[in-house]
Amino acid sequence: MFQQKKHLYFILFLLVFCTSCQNKQWEIAQFSTSKIAIDSTTEAGANQDYVAFLQVFKEQLAEKMNVVIGQSTQRMSVSRPESLLSNFAADVLRTEAISRLNTHIDIGIVNVGGLRTYILQGDITIGNIYEVMPFENELVILWLKGDKLGELFESIASVGGEGVSGIRMGIENGKAVNPTINGKALDLEKTYIIATSDFLAEGNDKLTQLAEYEKMEITGIKIRDIYIEYIENEAAKGNKINSQLDGRIYEIK
């Protein structure tokens, strides 16, 4: 009797196991979509308990974001081939990398698409910098051979320009013309040192050559923090933030 029961249990186990292992085919029988506006019109239907709960955090965040850290002498926006904001961003990234890491840096590169808004003339708040740079990108240092740098110049020219420091080049019919690095002609055999973001170091935003580096140093420093601290330090010296167009990237027509 015991052997019969044991045999029966084993058969039941096999049936359950085999049934559970079968691939189940699911099909969508019906679906629908609707548009939900996330604006002031949704406030009437908001759960007031949650509104009250979040209000404390909202006020704390606003208090931090509204802190004035410096002043700008002018409105700085972003455009191609060069702009006040992209020039400022690339210059600060490069100079601060040199200062913080105590090393030589040939070039600074930021992507225009990573600068999401503008800085108005007057007070600059922490919130302004978060709006300009909402991403958690970090500073990295790349060592890139001259031949790859030449290809990178072509990629920059093909999109009409990016934020650069230490570079001067023309763009004619989407091609790089007479590129120089700190006043010197491009040396295809030399290895250049570049300060940029971890995002671009992966070859994103069509700057694929940056991912073909010889060496990379990860600093762990948030790029947004670099700008905040730079502006604070300039304010402490009594300086306002300023930028200028200097023809570092120019269109040839």
Half-sphere exposure of 243 (CA within 13 A, CB side): 28
pLDDT at 43: 74
Q: How far apart are CA 204 and CA 211, in angstroms?
A: 8
Main-chain phi, psi angles of 251, to 5 degrees: -85, 135
Q: Could you give the angle at the alpha carbon of 28 between the alpha carbons of 23 and 34, nearest 5°?
A: 145
Selected from 2.40.50.140, 3.90.780.10, 3.30.930.10, 3.40.50.2300, the CATH number assigned to the domain covering 64-244 reads 3.90.780.10
For the chain, helix (H) and strand (E) counts, in that order, are 7, 11
pLDDT at 2: 45
Extents of the domains making up the chain: 64-244
pLDDT at 33: 78
Regions of the chain with pLDDT less than 70: 1-24, 38
Task: Report the predicted TM-score, pTM, of the whole model to 2 decimal places.
Answer: 0.80
pLDDT at 16: 54
With pLDDT > 70 as the criterion, what percentage of the chain qualifies? 89
3-state secondary structure at position 169: strand
pLDDT, tens only, 102-145: 999 999 999 999 999 999 999 999 999 999 999 999 999 999 99
DSSP bridge pairs for 238 = none
Do residues 109 and 163 lie in contact, with contact meaning Cβ atoms separated by under 8 Å?
A: yes
What strands lie across the sheet with 167-172, from one edge to the other?
Answer: 184-185, 175-181, 167-172, 249-251
Do residues 85 and 78 lie in contact, with contact meaning Cβ atoms separated by under 8 Å?
A: yes
Q: How far apart are CA 234 and CA 12, in angstroms?
A: 78
